[in-house]
Amino acid sequence: MAGGGSLGSGEKQRRGKEGKRKKKHRVGFRLDMTPLVDITFLLLTFFMLTTSMITPQTMELSVPPDLDVPIEVKQSELLTIRVRFDGKLFFNMGTDEPSKVTLEELKKLVVAQNVALKNKCIVVLKSSGEAPYGAVVQILDKLNSAEQSIIRGLKDAGINERNRKFTVAPFEKKDAEDIGGL
Amino acid sequence: MSKIKKKRVGFVLDMTPLVDITFLLLTFFMFTAKFKNEADNQQKFVIKRPQTQADTAKLPEKDLVTIKIGIDTVSKDTAYYLSMLNEQDVASLADAMQRINFPGANPESVVYKISDSLWLGKIIERARIVNPKARFALDADRRVKYRYIEVAINEMRKKRATTFNFVTEKKTGGL
């Protein structure tokens, strides 16, 4: 780094003054690096403090394109999860009465139902328009994390394939009435 | 006592290794630093992203259409803010938006503030035409009402953008 700045050219220019000034021998040339280090540290601290290492993550979701053909499903294989306006969860199988669940219970329930119905369970998520988006994403996240347990459960039951059947359905007035008083 | 103590005048320390490492770190941080783009500068709201576990994927670095759904910090109303990532897409979209007379569209437009589903559908369509490869990312505040998300999903679905991403944040601590 600390190489001599002028080796050849400098001597030629000063030829005239050669007699007066004694040529300094450049051995162990030293450069004061303090200002350089100062600035470098300043920049380093700036970049270190402004860099955010956490990049946002994403959760992928695929929805079917708009189909006008309704798909018929068996009520007994339908697991409905409903989110009320205040973010509270309700779940019911088929035409059963909806009951209140927490996020943690929901994961166990979904795993149990999927394994019991041997891959045929269809999970429907219906969310009230007033529910906070964060609550809905939390459910999706829980369902995603339940997948591993489901696959393990199915493997124990002798099924090696997993067909995930999950859908988001619009929240209707009837849904609001069903869970409104609970 | 036989050794004569050297007087420390003009003490010199070899700073070369220090400078080497410092420059190395400096270059690293300089190259990894990501600066706010034009779209972020115009933003008048803070997005508190929903928190999820760490099993999710990373956001693509190009070919991306971001739809932010935020609550304005002053007026408290929810609106959609659409922007595209690729520079040529931004220009093409500005051009397309002017042609369909989007209110306030000009050649320098980067972010489009939309508050109704009709315009949202139109702008999604334009964005799809401008870059058919682009993926959609929904970056919404976790306090936003689900109704707004549903509208956005339905509009994207109508325009055949059936796979999209929810931008989330890694859950820190706890579960």
What are the pLDDT digits (tens) for B35-93?
766 666 667 777 788 887 766 677 777 888 888 888 877 777 888 888 888 888 888 88
Choose the closest CB to A137 out of B22, B52, B150: B52
**A20 pLDDT exceeds 60?**
no
Which pLDDT score is estimated for B41?
66
More confident position, B8 or B108? B108
Tens of pLDDT, residues A99-136: 888 888 888 888 888 888 777 788 888 888 888 888 88
Question: A27 CB near a chain B CB, below 8 Å?
Answer: no
Mutate to test the interface with A, among B166, B171, B175 (most CBs of A within 10 A): B166
Q: Are B104 and B132 in contact (CB under 8 A)?
A: no
Domains, chain A: 76-180 (3.30.420.270)
Q: Which residues of A touch B71 (CB under 8 A)?
A: none
Q: Which residues of B touch A149 (CB under 8 A)?
A: none
Mutate to test the interface with B, among A32, A44, A52, A58 (most CBs of B within 10 A): A58
Residues 28-67 of A with CB under 8 A from B: 30, 33-34, 36-37, 40-41, 43-44, 47-48, 50-52, 54-66
Question: What element of type H or E holds B172?
Answer: none
Question: A96 CB near a chain B CB, below 8 Å?
Answer: no
Strands (E), chain B: 51-52, 57-58, 64-71, 78-84, 112-114, 135-140, 163-170
For residues B4-24, average pLDDT: 79
Question: A102 CB near a chain B CB, below 8 Å?
Answer: no
pLDDT, averaged across chain B: 80
Q: Which amino acid is at B171?
A: K
Q: Tell if the CB–CB gap between B166 and A140 is shorter than 8 Å.
A: yes
For the stretch A130-162, what's the b/e string if a residue is b when 16 or more beta carbons lie within 10 angstroms of its beta carbon? Answer: ebbbbbbbbbbbbbbebbebbbebbeeeeeeee
Q: Is the dihedral of CA B118, B119, B120, B121 positive or negative?
A: positive
Q: Tell if the CB–CB gap between A60 and B49 is shorter than 8 Å.
A: no
Which pLDDT score is estimated for B37?
66
For residues B95-119, average pLDDT: 82
> Length of chain B, please?
175
Q: Tell if the CB–CB gap between A40 and B22 is shorter than 8 Å.
A: yes
**A5 pLDDT exceeds 60?**
no
Q: Which residues of B touch A130 (CB under 8 A)?
A: 145-147
Which pLDDT score is estimated for A75?
76
ipTM over 0.85: no
Tens of pLDDT, residues A34-71: 888 888 889 888 888 887 766 677 788 777 776 666 67
Phi/psi for B143 (5° steps) reads -90, -5
Q: Which residues of B touch A48 (CB under 8 A)?
A: 25, 29
More confident position, A7 or A124? A124
Q: Tell if the CB–CB gap between A62 and B160 is shorter than 8 Å.
A: no
Cβ contacts below 8 Å, chain A against chain B, sum to 151
More confident position, B133 or A164? B133
Which pLDDT score is estimated for A67?
63
The alpha-carbon radius of gyration of chain B (Å, integer) is 25
Query: What does the alpha-carbon distance between residue A117 and residue B77 come to, in Å, rounded to a whole number?
Result: 44
